[in-house]
């Protein structure tokens, strides 16, 4: 028995009241095993219809509750090594640090079955690559969106994968981004502390949530304004992550009223008639992971990696210097 990808709705009747959520959903959707349902819940793909995301498989259900189950498309076959160019900043027997280009997907997924960073890493590292991240995500400790460029660290063995994962989970490292945003934040620098969770309607988006979501902290500062001082058309902003939620920088900057230029999900086209065409038509989100600092899990050495803005991003920023 199979079940199609997409949204499925389950309403709890009296016979299931008081059951664990994973058990109740598995009974209502017999094509899914209980372990599969549990993975969907923990993967934030189950929510009260029109409401908050549920992350606890053991949650007791009530009569009349209606749940939305978002079943993803089947994952592609196991990735194969592909000899793709990598901009490697540092490498030793435990880890590898690289500068990911915009346009490269980190790991295979529906719509992007190959030519990903994972395919390139499999070719570069061979059998040494850590498998803890899963068959389709070997060595991957964190990721950047397809159209975000910048610094990433990859584990080359299981011990390093565990150690780096702990650093990311504890936020015991430094990650700094640069973003070109529409307008400018009201303050030259500040902190956004606003929980992020799945959008209540569009499950593919994240959103600032007042009554649900996970704590998220971003410190930001304005590096440069472009256009009239009081009403800039755009500004270059630095952002340091205090947490690491999905789409955090993009969501928090949009929450400030300054979405990232070119962001197809959280952005917008400028209504400012003075906005140059290069800014309006920028073909991707102008977001770059500029700095990554962490303690090497084996040597204990403090590592710091910083990268310049990629050419298309840098060229756009330079073109804005003449905007009045």
Are 109 and 79 spatial neighbours (Cβ–Cβ below 8 Å)? no
H-helix segments, the chain: 21-28, 34-42, 117-125, 158-170, 248-255, 277-280, 311-319
The DSSP 8-state label assigned to residue 293 in this structure reads E
| Nearest CA-CA partner of 265 in 250, 249, 280 | 250
> Which residues participate in catalysis according to the annotation?
145
Rounded Cα distance, 177 and 305, in Å: 12
Rounded Cα distance, 59 and 48, in Å: 12
Q: Is 16 helix (H, G, I), strand (E, B) or coil?
A: helix
For residue 9 the two structure tokens come to: 């709705």
Exposed/middle/buried for residue 12 (C-beta within 10 Å: 0-12, 13-18, 19+): buried
Rounded Cα distance, 59 and 200, in Å: 19
Rounded Cα distance, 230 and 29, in Å: 56
């Amino acid at each position: 028995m199979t079940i199609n990808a997409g949204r499925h709705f389950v309403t709890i009747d009296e016979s299931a009241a008081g059951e664990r959520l994973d058990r109740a959903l598995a009974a209502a959707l017999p094509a899914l095993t209980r372990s599969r349902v549990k993975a969907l819940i923990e993967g934030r793909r189950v929510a009260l219809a029109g409401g908050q995301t549920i992350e606890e498989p053991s949650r007791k259900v009530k009569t009349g509750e209606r749940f939305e189950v978002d079943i993803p498309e089947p994952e592609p076959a196991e990735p194969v090594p592909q000899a793709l160019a990598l901009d490697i900043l540092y490498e030793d027997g435990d880890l590898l640090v690289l500068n990911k280009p915009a346009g490269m997907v980190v790991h295979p997924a529906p719509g992007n079955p190959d030519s990903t960073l994972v395919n390139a890493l499999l070719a570069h590292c061979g059998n040494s690559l850590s498998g803890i991240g899963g068959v389709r995500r070997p060595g991957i400790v964190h990721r950047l969106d397809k159209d975000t460029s910048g610094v990433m660290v990859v584990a080359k063995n299981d011990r390093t994968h565990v150690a780096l994962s702990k650093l990311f989970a504890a936020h015991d490292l430094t990650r700094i981004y640069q973003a070109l945003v529409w307008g400018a934040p009201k303050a030259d620098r500040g902190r956004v502390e606003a929980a992020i969770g799945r959008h209540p309607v569009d499950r593919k988006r994240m959103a600032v949530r007042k009554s649900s979501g996970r704590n998220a902290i971003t410190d930001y500062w304005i590096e440069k304004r472009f256009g009239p001082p009081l009403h800039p058309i755009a500004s270059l902003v630095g952002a340091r992550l205090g947490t690491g939620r999905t789409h955090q920088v993009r969501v928090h900057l949009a929450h400030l009223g300054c979405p990232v230029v070119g962001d197809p999900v959280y952005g917008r086209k400028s209504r400012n008639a003075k906005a140059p065409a290069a800014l309006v038509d920028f073909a991707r989100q102008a977001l770059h992971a500029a700095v990554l600092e962490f303690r090497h899990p084996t040597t204990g050495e403090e590592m710091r990696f910083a990268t310049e803005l990629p050419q298309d991003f840098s060229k756009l920023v330079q073109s804005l210097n003449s905007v009045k």
